Amino acid sequence: DTGVSQNPRHKITKRGQNVTFRCDPISEHNRLYWYRQTLGQGPEFLTYFQNEAQLEKSRLLSDRFSAERPKGSFSTLEIQRTEQGDSAMYLCASSLADVGSGSPLHFGNGTRLTVT
Partner 1 sequence: GENVEQHPSTLSVQEGDSAVIKCTYSDSASNYFPWYKQELGKRPQLIIDIRSNVGEKKDQRIAVTLNKTAKHFSLHITETQPEDSAVYFCAASLSGGYNKLIFGAGTRLAVHP
- For residue 16, the 8-state DSSP code is T
Q: How far apart are CA 36 and CA 29, in angstroms?
A: 20
| Residue 83 engages partner 1 in binding (rule: CB under 8 A) | no
Can you tell me which of 32, 65, 77, 108 binds partner 1, judged by CB under 8 A? 108
Give Cα separations from 13 to 7, 24, 79, 114, 116 (angstroms). Answer: 15, 22, 11, 6, 6
In this complex, which beta carbon is closest to partner 1, that of residue 56 or of residue 83? Answer: 56
In this complex, which beta carbon is closest to partner 1, that of residue 17 or of residue 41? Answer: 41
Stretch that binds partner 1, among 15-23, 41-49, 70-78, 80-88 (CB under 8 A): 41-49
Task: Give the residue among 114, 106, 94 at the shortest CA–CA distance from 39.
Answer: 114
In this complex, which beta carbon is closest to partner 1, that of residue 12 or of residue 99? Answer: 99
| Residue 33 engages partner 1 in binding (rule: CB under 8 A) | yes
